[in-house]
Structure 1
């Protein structure tokens, strides 16, 4: 019997500490005027004494409560993050323990700002088999701990947060919410990177691993996105018998407001089709799309043709087409 996949719940968490542009201007040479002009960002949230798994666990608990599902009924937990608690164990396993999902297997996906797209796609495949029925897909990012606060070209963009969905399998075609997808990668280790650990050069007692801060070449990122993402969206639409005009909404990676505006302009679509929160919460990497998705669902919006489009380090990018008209 064919199986379908629906979104049964959506949830989000933002740390309580709000950081303004003026506050950042006290620790680096920048200003509220410059940041808003170049990024559209006004505020962001930073997690203080709270790691990635802790934020993700709060989202997971909300998802269970909303769906009225026991933690022991979860089969799979996938966490998208590039700011994990540690390289190992996976942040997903820490969330699994925190919520008591003793029957679930859990692991992380690292696809940077496209992480929620890749994680959603992966969980969808598991649930379309006969063996698995419920999955938590969570994007959680504690980006503030990865930043170089002397690099004003990067540090002003980012914020912390977590969001996700609970997916369930179904045998009813009307429940099918994940309609189509298109995932891609274009290998480039220099445009965006974070957490590099160099190999040792000799055997010495002084050897100790060191990790570098997040880095992005803003101009190269802008060029890649503007040259590749609008054609990708058009091609994806065409493959599914649509045009950008047919889409009800497009939630892109919340890189910065100016880039979202540029994508909308290149697609000749109004900004009203592009819900966003980057101005309020900053660039939250993989969590950005999930945060906006949760916002529109909590606001009662049920788009029939919703495109999620992520792009980030890798360079990884991709889109998923959702039909949320039957979301409860």
Structure 2
């Protein structure tokens, strides 16, 4: 039987830094308001034609170097994104071409801010089939291109980034990275968050042309979901797996909002000191937030790390993993 281990982690943020004061110049907000409500001080934006596949390819090259692999040794690439280069081809296929991973099958998944957790879960099942040797799971988001910069309830939260992991096949059961998981969806709240909706054709006309909407979220509903439903999922996962909260070395949540992370810490009774966070510097980078934070963390001596992603769908998933 085959098992999967995490052999590399990497993250990338674009060079352009956008401060709260920068946003205050173009919308009715302020640094004080943003920090008090979100904990966010700055974020990074992809500019000058740097798109989602570019961020993802940058991470992919870092992963190859860290894992000491050649691109043609990778045989699976999964890219999680809600801000793809295009609806088709898949951003993962564009990344495969950019890095020369000629032997890899590649596809995208869309699970919003839970995307990295969903991607790891999918890749683990495919790896343990014994068919694949090395899999890349990359989350990449250019949220800035989907923002309405007059909507301060959304635009002030988001930034751009990419992060990911390489899973490598092992014959040793003790190497298996995935200890426990719980993955769920609630489609009844599909209108809570949406982005890039394309309306159906209304008439056949020479002026008909596809148009998408900007990102939208019902901030209060999202906050209630994240601070009530997500802690319950995490508690259920730990209880069903007989894992004591004090055995968790780190909790890496979706980097949505510092206030949400603080609330989750309080409700699952794990000290906030065990919650590494990057949201202050990078903002909400959707599915990329978890791997970007993991990549900046020294996990070499850790036994168990809990990761939890939650977002549009509504999709939400939590895992206990090891390195």
TM-score normalized with structure 2 length: 0.98
How many angstroms does 1:246 deviate by?
Answer: 2.6
1:125-180: CA deviation from partner (whole Å, max 9, x where unpaired)? 11101211110100000000010000000000000000101110100122111112
Instruction: Indicate the residue corresponding to 2:40 in structure 1.
Output: 41
Instruction: Indicate the residue corresponding to 2:86 in structure 1.
Output: 86
How many angstroms does 1:301 deviate by?
Answer: 4.6
Instruction: Indicate the residue corresponding to 2:122 in structure 1.
Output: 122
Distance in 1 between residues matched to 2:121 and 2:320, nearest whole Å: 11
How many angstroms does 1:271 deviate by?
Answer: 0.8
**Preserved CA contact (<8 Å) 1:12 1:59:** yes
Residue 223 in structure 1 maps to residue 219 in structure 2: no
How many angstroms does 1:267 deviate by?
Answer: 1.6
Distance in 2 between residues matched to 1:30 and 1:147, nearest whole Å: 15
**Preserved CA contact (<8 Å) 1:234 1:243:** no
Instruction: Indicate the residue corresponding to 2:247 in structure 1.
Output: 246
1:23-81: CA deviation from partner (whole Å, max 9, x where unpaired)? 11001000000000000000100000200000100100111111111111111000000
Secondary structure of 1:204's partner? Answer: coil
Secondary structure of 2:199's partner? Answer: coil
1:109-139: CA deviation from partner (whole Å, max 9, x where unpaired)? 0000000000011011111012111101000
After superposition, the Cα gap between the structure-2 partners of 1:276 and 1:94, relative to the gap in structure 1 and judged at 3 Å, is: same
Aligned positions of 1:144-159 closer than 5 A: 144-159=144-159
1:205-250: CA deviation from partner (whole Å, max 9, x where unpaired)? 1110000000000000011112211111110001110232332111
Instruction: Indicate the residue corresponding to 1:195 in structure 2.
Output: 196
**Preserved CA contact (<8 Å) 2:138 2:164:** yes
Instruction: Indicate the residue corresponding to 1:305 in structure 2.
Output: 304
Aligned positions of 1:16-27 closer than 5 A: 16-27=15-26
Instruction: Indicate the residue corresponding to 2:295 in structure 1.
Output: 294
Distance in 2 between residues matched to 1:25 and 1:301, nearest whole Å: 41
Instruction: Indicate the residue corresponding to 2:209 in structure 1.
Output: 208
Instruction: Indicate the residue corresponding to 2:174 in structure 1.
Output: 174
Distance in 2 between residues matched to 1:205 and 1:4, nearest whole Å: 55
Distance in 2 between residues matched to 1:23 and 1:123, nearest whole Å: 39
Aligned residues: 321
Aligned positions of 1:126-145 closer than 5 A: 126-145=126-145
Runs of 5+ consecutive residues of structure 1 not aligned to the other structure: none
Instruction: Indicate the residue corresponding to 2:273 in structure 1.
Output: 272
Secondary structure of 2:276's partner? Answer: coil
**Preserved CA contact (<8 Å) 2:63 2:166:** yes
**Preserved CA contact (<8 Å) 1:80 1:140:** yes
How many angstroms does 1:185 deviate by?
Answer: 0.2
Distance in 1 between residues matched to 2:65 and 2:178, nearest whole Å: 23
After TM superposition, the runs of 4+ consecutive aligned structure 1 residues lying more than 3 A away are: 299-302
**Preserved CA contact (<8 Å) 1:80 1:108:** yes
Q: CA RMSD in A?
A: 0.9
**Preserved CA contact (<8 Å) 2:130 2:169:** no
Distance in 1 between residues matched to 2:283 and 2:119, nearest whole Å: 21
Distance in 2 between residues matched to 1:279 and 1:301, nearest whole Å: 24
Residue 61 in structure 1 maps to residue 61 in structure 2: yes
**Preserved CA contact (<8 Å) 1:255 1:278:** yes
How many angstroms does 1:302 deviate by?
Answer: 3.2
